[in-house]
Structures are given as C-alpha cells and as structure tokens.
Amino acid sequence: MGINLRSPAELEKMHRAGLIVWDVLTLLREMVRPGATTMELEKYAERRTDEHHARPAFKGYLGYPCVLCASINDEVVHGIPSPTRKLKEGDIVSLDFGVEFEGYYADAAVTVPVGKIRPELRELLRVTREALDHAIDKMRPGNRLSDISAAVQTWVERNGFSVVREFVGHSIGTKMHEDPQLPNYGDPGHGPRLQEGMVLAIEPMVNAGGPGVRVLEDKWTAVTADGSCSAHFEHTVAATSNGPWVLTRPRGVTGPSW
C-alpha cells in the first residue's frame, strides 16, 4: 500500500479544514496571556469549531478528553486543558489542534510565549519553527520521505537542541493518522519518494535539553525526562507540482511557517 494521493479537488477540501484550524489557532494565540487558563482556550476552540460547522479531531480520539492539546513548558505534547492551571509570564505553551470538515482532516500546532520569555526559550521557539520551515521546503515531488526527517534533525541538532523520538508526524487525509509515520530524525535519501498529492502533518517536537520523554499518570501528558522545556510546531502540507502547499494557512500568507 502506497501513500494516499489526493486530487486537486480533495486538496481544496483539506484546505477548507486547514483554514478552520488556522483560524482557531490564530485566535487562541491572541488569547495567550498571563492569568489565562488552558481551559479558557479549550472552551473557545470548541465554540469556534462549532461555528465553523466542523468536528474537533482530537476529542474522543483514543479517549482523549478535549478538543485542544495545551502543553506548558516541560510538557512536550498532549497536555490536557485545565481550569485551574494559569499561564504565567515567562511560560511557553504549545497549542495543538485539528478538525474534520466534510470528511477531510487538518492538524497544526504552534508554541506561543506567555508575555516576555527568557532568551533560551525564544531560541527554542525560533529553531523549532525554522526546523518546520526547512522540513516544509522538502515537500516536493521526487524527494524522499526521510529527507523531511533529516531536515528537522539537522537543523535542531546544529542549534544545540534535541529531537523527540517517541512522537512523530504522519500522513493525513480522510483520517487524522494515515500511513506512513514521519519521524523527526533520520538520514536523508530513504523511504518512499514524495509524489504530487501526498499530504503530511509535519510536526517537529524539540527539547531544550535531552531527547527523552515520559508520559504522566494521566496517560496523556508527555513531559521531558530532564525537565527542560519543549516546543512543537506543526502544519498539514501537500506536495504539489508547484511546490509545498501549506494547507493549514491562507494562500496569501507566505514567509515563516508560523
């Protein structure tokens, strides 16, 4: 079984889903401030998704309880929104969100500073976002799948951070997770050749310290093993004959991925 190929009409549908994800994440980003709770973000995301007549992709997925993942500081991914946990100045928070709209999925994530953050964290966010930029640039017909993985790992490690191994990107389309998986590490030149119409959720997860992670007793929240902070940036991206198409943002937006 090869990787699913999406027609131009299907890509347009995925873009519709992607624009909803982008709209929600863009608004959530503006809500991030000291004193806000992650449950306030959850509630807003749920309401806005409903207004778009979309279905949240995460809630109920393998029993996940919310529409949003909100992972603070040493939390890597899958942080569960909490009504009591307040964001505070100097924190970073990763917001991961996906929807299904008319049968097609889109998935994206962004790590947001809470007020003023220390320089090392600014660097962590910049390098992780740039790793996603470099990875997106590899989404071209003719390249190999692991070229994307290698682009992430090379950029992250050259800048002194480390790549999480336990969680990976994935193909996406009429399901949130389709084969193959997309690790954020590996040598270039391996795996299937990318073709027009392939769609991948590319999602580097980068730790300021070592690469190790563990999952908390809630069975969801992944945290760094050494307590260092972690960042996560993600887009749903199609390979087209015109180059990479970032489906989780408006066509007019160019430049850095987030």
Q: Which two tokens stand for residue 200?
A: 């991948």
| Interface with ligand MF3, residue 1, by CB under 6 A | no
Output 91 or 96, the one with its CB closest to ligand MF3.
96
Q: Which of residues 55-94 bind ligand MF3 (CB under 6 A)?
A: 58, 61-62, 64, 69, 78
Size of the site for ligand MF3 (CB under 6 A): 12
Q: Which two tokens stand for residue 243?
A: 């180059």
Output 78 or 129, the one with its CB closest to ligand MF3.
78
| Piece in contact with Co ion (CB under 5 A), picked from 6-14, 34-42, 148-156, 198-206 | 198-206
Closest CB 118 distance from ligand MF3, rounded Å = 27
Q: How far apart are CA 169 and CA 101, in angstroms?
A: 20
Specify burial of residue 215 (Cβ count, 10 A radius: 0-12, 13-18, 19+): middle
SS3 content of the chain, % helix, strand, coil (to 5): 30, 30, 45
Output 37 or 174, the one with its CB closest to Co ion.
174
Beta carbons within 8 Å of 257's beta carbon, 6+ residues apart: 129, 132, 133, 136, 233, 235, 246, 249
Q: How far apart are CA 19 and CA 24, in angstroms?
A: 9
92 binds, among Co ion, ligand MF3, none (CB under 5 to 8 A by kind): none
- CA–chain centroid gap for 218, Å, is 21
**Distance set, CA 4 to CA 85, 177, 196, 224, 243 (Å):** 40, 12, 10, 33, 18
Pick one of 201, 202, 222, 247: the residue that binds ligand MF3 (CB under 6 A): 201
Q: Which of residues 91-120 bind ligand MF3 (CB under 6 A)?
A: 96, 98, 107, 109
Q: Which of residues 86-115 bind Co ion (CB under 5 A)?
A: 107
Pick one of 201, 222, 237, 239: the residue that binds Co ion (CB under 5 A): 201
Q: How far apart are CA 85 and CA 192, in angstroms?
A: 43
Q: Which residue is nearest to ligand MF3 (CB)?
A: 64
Contact residues toward Co ion (CB under 5 A) are: 107, 201, 203
Contact residues toward ligand MF3 (CB under 6 A) are: 58, 61-62, 64, 69, 78, 96, 98, 107, 109, 170, 201
